[in-house]
A and B are shown apart, each in its own frame.
Chain A
């Protein structure tokens, strides 16, 4: 039973608090959080504006968001790679193969899912929310905050979904991170590398971590959807 043995060994590795392994996990989680911190405010604002106001270019913006959502992560990685590479427009910044480059890439990946889900949530909100806010004297900004507060569970669900997309992707992280041990090597790129070397223990250990994260995310989403459905 090689699979069972490897799995047991993987669990042993995880719970022996192996520094390299947990360092890799930490890099993944840190990059994800920073990416969401950058993407969430902008994406939520864009989703709100697209759902609320009618202006020329709105349809095009929605199509662009949806296209971005459908793009394979490796393509976004490729585009960003060309932008950041020495001869690219942002080559001067020397960001390629750094954690910052990964954060930028993952922020771009999280952006469309956050914007699209916020757009859907705000579009579905009861019209009386905005009307009540306005007739009670709220300005544009305060009404916007009120609407987002009314759909807060859906917005949180959007953030959780964004986290899910970003933590589990490999294409962009590999392209712009470069898989440098201890710096840009994260959960997914480690799994790919170790497997290609015929080493499965680390891969399975990290796979277990991803499964646990996916489970936590989906439990979180179920709870949030239950809360959102109160009305």
Chain B
């Protein structure tokens, strides 16, 4: 059914934990941003991460993607140890972080979506088929001829989702994907996120958006007073 479960050592499957982090602390100089003794993300489970402005949601997601250094005692992905400084090199693109304002490379929409596939070494024909499917999935075929920097915020967000989705990530870390979008764009993005969750990706969404916070079956995480609570 899913590649991850098949690849996961048998003794780990019972635990069902895709990512486990122990002893995670982030400080900026003297200031402790958060101290999380344990965090596990389960395969196929979705999570919404809330917390007031400046509580560290963005920072936490970036740490999990390996884009930001932090103090970590141990980290396991699919049962295997991953050294903290190697998170990004070893886990990308199985774990993908999406910026609140995604950056689209100044090539074309299709080339953006093909980017990770190229890095993974697929040939042109295999790439084209996947890119077309992903563009259809995100409803962005009509944007194919527009230079990426001219797209609206919602369109950029959808292209960025397609660019990640095409790589079939096991964990997708979304940073306020619906912030600053008008109602129509927001609904389009939420629909795509729902599809990702239904497709059994582990999606972690940092958000202030009530509709995303109420996402069906999502585990609710909250950053407050430098600690992470599960509600």
Contact = CB atoms under 8 A, between A and B. Distances in A.
Interface stretch (B15-23, B33-41, B47-55, B98-106): B98-106
A136 B106 contact: no
A136 B99 contact: no
A71 to B, nearest CB: 35
A134 B105 contact: no
A129 interface: yes
Nearest to A231: B149
A131 B65 CA distance: 10
A128 B115 CA distance: 15
Interface in A114-129: 126, 128-129
B82 interface: no
Interface string A39-52: 00000000000000
Q: Is the interface of A mostly helix, strand, loop or mixed?
A: helix
A135 interface: yes
A46 B197 CA distance: 44
A135 B96 contact: yes
A137 B99 contact: no
A231 B120 CA distance: 28
Interface string B206-231: 00000000000000000000000000
Secondary structure at the B interface, as helix, strand, loop or mixed, is loop
Interface in A127-161: 128-129, 131-139, 142, 146, 149-150
Contacts of A139: 89, 119
Contacts of B66: 134-135
A230 interface: yes
Interface residues of B, number: 26
Interface in B89-146: 89, 92-93, 95-97, 99, 101-103, 105-107, 115-116, 119-120
B92 A137 contact: yes
Contacts of A230: 106, 147, 149
B204 interface: no
A93 B93 CA distance: 51
B167 interface: yes
Interface string B48-69: 0000000000000000011100
Interface of B: 65-67, 88-89, 92-93, 95-97, 99, 101-103, 105-107, 115-116, 119-120, 147, 149, 163-164, 167
20 contacts: A128-B102, A129-B103, A131-B97, A131-B103, A132-B99, A132-B105, A133-B115, A135-B65, A135-B66, A135-B92, A135-B95, A136-B93, A136-B163, A138-B115, A139-B119, A146-B105, A149-B105, A150-B106, A230-B149, A231-B149
Interface of A: 126, 128-129, 131-139, 142, 146, 149-150, 230-231
